[in-house]
Amino acid sequence: MNATAAKRLVFAMLDTDGDGVISKAEYSARVERVTRATGRTNDDPLVIAAREVGARAWAAMDANGDGGVTFDEYAAWAGAEAFDTVCEPVLGALFDLADTDKDGALSLQEFTTLRTALGNPVSNIEAAFSALDGAGAGRVGRDAYLASVRAHVAGEDSPMGEALYSREDSLRG
């Protein structure tokens, strides 16, 4: 999958109302959905940290400060460099929220909780988990997860990204 196609898929997932613009509320809702899905409370230090890195990421994405990010703005911003400097802390924080047993890895149940809260269709999640859990240990480590997401947004080979977005029902709108 090329980088533009990968960015379109991620953009569609972030633009939850399908209006062609990611709003601050849509972007911020990711932390809130993962918080609810994992049963965490608003005063949980991991929730507070996820909100803080999410706010910094939003500020970087919405460079012109108009409160919305179009696909063209997102496509110009997103990629390996943005992932390394802005997105990795956010996605790492969301991973940490889903890692309810705090072992540094996600079980299939934790991975499913995370990815459904982020907007992926359940039908694609098990294949994505299996793509990351190549050894069949039933666990997906944080580093492998983040590396796969990075590869996807950079348009590189990402078995997890291919699996998550392998069906048209992964697109909204």
Is pLDDT at 173 greater than 90 in this prediction? no
Split at pLDDT 50, 70, 90, the class of 106 is very high
Q: For 3-170, CATH number? A: 1.10.238.10
User: Smallest Cα–Cα separation from 63: which of 84, 77, 75?
Assistant: 77
For the chain, give the percent of residues with pLDDT over 90.
Answer: 56
Output the pTM of the full model: 0.87
Q: How many angstroms separate the CA atoms of 141 and 159, rounded?
A: 15
> Mean pLDDT in the chain?
88
- Choice between 173 and 15, residue whose per-residue pLDDT is larger: 15
Is pLDDT at 170 greater than 50 in this prediction? no
Q: Which residue has the tokens 């909100």?
A: 51
What contacts 66, CB < 8 A, 6 or more positions away? none
Mean local confidence (pLDDT), 20-25:
96
State how beta strands 68-70 and 21-23 pair. Answer: antiparallel
List the single range of 57-71, 124-138, 150-164 with lowest mean pLDDT: 150-164
Domain ranges of the chain: 3-170
SS (H, E, C) the chain: CCHHHHHHHHHHHHCCCCCCEEEHHHHHHHHHHHHHHHCCCCCCHHHHHHHHHHHHHHHHHCCCCCCEEEHHHHHHHCCHHHHHHHHHHHHHHHHHHHCCCCCCEECHHHHHHHHHHCCCCHHHHHHHHHHHCCCCCCCEEHHHHHHHHHHHHCCCCCHHHHHHCCCHHHCCC
